[in-house]
Structure 1
């Protein structure tokens, strides 16, 4: 399913698009070094597509390619009504490394926020790995604030320390 925003198009990722997602992942080696201490793989894509936090379900999850003028520029994974009914939780937001520092990420998130606000959501929440300084600064610049720090319950073996960030809309 393809959904429109204003400038960007979101395309639901099914198996035939896994290679396109992996290509985007491969342009973000720094993130995968921090998060997995490894390179991304097809298993990473499948795990991201099918993974949900505790007390959520796949029916509320969207895993989509972000397109701009027909070009795949990123991927977003989000869950509606999590952890609360009026909240969207972004599990992953990644812009293709070839498009970093061009304002596309900021422009997409601003459009995304407008879109979900029009649907009645009041908050966006997400988690940033403590070591991911660039992501933390990006989200701060968009008005997100740290609401707590936790150790992730997803992949406990990785011992992720996460800043939970939120923005009211």
Structure 2
């Protein structure tokens, strides 16, 4: 595939993160991001304005990426949080997956966010990203993955169902930016190997 112009994607320079995993398509690799990567993550948020309009009712705030590195559920600490950036063969950030280990219990991990730059969607990249993540999770001895999909996000809901996630409950309405959403809490058992 052709690289996109630098004005569309931001290239990561000099990152040396030890946690990474490869996708089935060898053009892509996932690497753990650090707070120093907030600038490139913010650029991805700004490319994915469609999602923040859906979730929050407004474009991403200027601190969205920096805030993502600090957002934690009650009882968890920063060592439990992993933000993986998905990079193409030219080392441009094209996607993100944010996850919390041992949440909601010691056997499980929680995906808080997964999004891809619009031009990389509907091409199998999201599925490959998730499958590579789950393979890595199996190495971490995780048994289950949980996530919540906004009721309004029917494309996201269909995506996760196709990957084998099942609804375990519907969470009560909660405020997100200017909007209020019910969420489908979904679960999938981690498949080893």
Higher CA-based Rg: 2
Secondary structure (helix, strand or coil) at the match of 2:156 reads: helix
Q: Is the contact between residue 80 and residue 88 of structure 1 (CA under 8 Å) also seen in structure 2?
A: yes
Paired residue for 2:109? 88
TM-score computed with the length of structure 2 as normaliser = 0.79
Contact 1:53 1:154 in 2 (8 A): no
CA–CA separation in structure 2 for the residues paired with 1:21 and 1:152 = 28
Query: Structure 1 residues 154 and 124 mapped into 2: Cα distance closer, same or farther (>3 Å)?
Result: farther
Task: Structure 2: state its 5+ residue gaps.
Answer: 1-16, 24-28
Kept after mapping to 1: 8 A contact 2:103/2:110: yes
Q: Report the Cα distance in structure 1 between the residues aligned to 2:56 and 2:178, rounded to whole angstroms.
A: 10
Do the aligned residues in 2 keep the contact of 1:147 with 1:164 (CA within 8 Å)? yes
Measured after TM superposition, the shift of residue 94 of structure 1 is 0.9
> Aligned pair 1:38/2:58, yes or no?
yes
The 5 A counterparts of 1:17-166 are 17-69=37-89, 70-151=91-172, 158-166=179-187
Instruction: Specify which structure has the higher proportion of helix.
Output: 1
Aligned residues: 168
Q: Runs of 5+ in structure 1 lacking a partner?
A: none
Please give the root-mean-square deviation of Cα atoms over the aligned residues, in Å: 1.9
